[in-house]
Structure formats: structure tokens, C-alpha cells
Amino acid sequence: MNTPVHLIMGAAAFGKRDMRAVTWAAIAGGFLPDLSLFAMAGVSIFLLGYPPQQVFGEFYYSSAWQQVIAVDNSFVLWGVAFGLALWRKVPGMIAFCGAAFLHLVFDFPLHNHDARMHFWPLTDWKFISPVSYWEGARGGNLVAVAEVLIVAVLGIYLLIRHSDIWLRVAFTLLMLMQIAPFVIWRLVF
């Protein structure tokens, strides 16, 4: 799934109405499994000058990048962290780790050739899904519609639920990041 969807879902599932810090922790947790990819791609494209085709067609599949991505996409590591947060009853950590784990749950069935090692460090095995969230030929168009609907419904719910202006700004921006390209693409093509 696209990153804004993960952030909205994490905030909806683990954010707390009167606990702004917990909701921000859920947003951060929803983002963390994608952080290394954003960082490595950003440095490669914007600082080192590599073309995006090389970054996502070659570097992404390298063993070095796959190993880094395995760490922050591990059900094992996030499961242990989430379990510890629940055991210690720390609301911010529950939200952070729970949103990250939820991110993995929704990514797992939606990656084809770009699958991750979700059970690292126990195994390097990857589930190669027949569905890809971004490839139209593998159901990506249907996933895109589902993502827009999820973001619209949960985004409105979050806007109603939270009165904090900065959270509302964040939710509005996330909704726009997900919905605007979809609408523009449909209008143009």
C-alpha cells in the first residue's frame, strides 16, 4: 500500500482522541517500515544523482538494500516490540509498534516481485503475492480504488475525532497525497 494509507490506518487504529502524542506516535509507527526505503532512494536519487529507474530497478533488489528493508519490515521484530509495549502498557509505544505492525499486515499480501523478507531474522523467505498494490496488471487498479476509499473514510473519521489543529492538518495532507493523484490521473487519462 502507499505510505499515506498506512499512516491514516495507523492513526485510526491506534491513535487516541485526547492523547495527541499517542496519535503522533501511531502516525510515526505507520511510517517507519517505509523509512529506510525513502532514505536510501532519496539519497541515491537526490544526492548521488542516480536515475530512479536504476534505484528502483536495480538497487532496490540488491542484497544490501533487501537486508536493510528486511529489518524494518520484520513481523518478528515488530511483533516482539508490540508485545513488549503491550506488556509494559506504554500507550505511545503501543501506538507506535501497533501501527508499524499493522503496516506490515497490509503490505504482506500486496507485494509481488518487490516482496519483503517479512519473517527475518528467522528466514529470508518472501511471500510473492499474485497481487501488487502498484501494478495494474496484478490488481493494482482495484487496490488504488480501495486505498482511496480507505483514506477518505478513515480520514474523515480522524478529522471528526480529533480537534487538534496540527493533527487535522496532517490528516488533510495525507488524504490529499493519496486522493489527489488518483483523481488527477482519472481526469487526465
| Domain locations along the chain | 3-188
| Angle at 59 (CA atoms; ends 9, 31), nearest 5 degrees | 15
CA dist., res. 74 & res. 81, Å (int): 11
Q: What pLDDT is recorded for position 152?
A: 97
pLDDT of residue 94: 98
Position 163 scores a pLDDT of: 95
* Residue 189 confidence (pLDDT): 66
Radius of gyration of the chain (CA): 17
**With contact defined as beta carbons under 8 Å apart, do 5 and 181 qualify?**
no
The lowest-confidence range among 62-76, 115-129, 130-144, 172-186 is: 172-186
> Is pLDDT above 70 for 98?
yes
Average pLDDT, the chain: 96
SS3 53: helix
Residue 59's pLDDT band, with cuts at 50, 70 and 90, is very high
- Per-residue model confidence as pLDDT tens digits over 69-91: 999 999 999 999 999 999 999 99
- Give 45-55 pLDDT, tens digit per residue: 999 999 999 99
CA distance 135 to 37: 18
Are 167 and 158 in contact by the 8 Å Cβ rule? The answer is yes
Rounded to an integer, what distance in angstroms lies between the CA atom of residue 77 and that of residue 67? 14
Task: Say if residue 61's pLDDT is above 80.
Answer: yes
Kindly state the average pLDDT of the residues 163-182.
Answer: 94
Query: Which residues face 16 on adjacent strands?
Result: 19
SS3 62: coil
Please give the single-letter amino acid code of residue 5.
V
Q: How far is CA 138 from CA 3, 54, 133, 160, 189, in A?
A: 19, 22, 8, 35, 19
Task: Determine the 3-state secondary structure of 109 from DSSP.
Answer: helix
- CA nearest neighbour of 143 among 161, 151, 67: 151
Model confidence band, residue 18 (pLDDT cutoffs 50, 70, 90): confident
pTM, full prediction: 0.93
- Chain CA centroid to CA 100, Å: 8
The amino acid sitting at 76 is V
Task: Please compute the mean of the pLDDT values over residues 7-24 and round it to a whole number.
Answer: 97
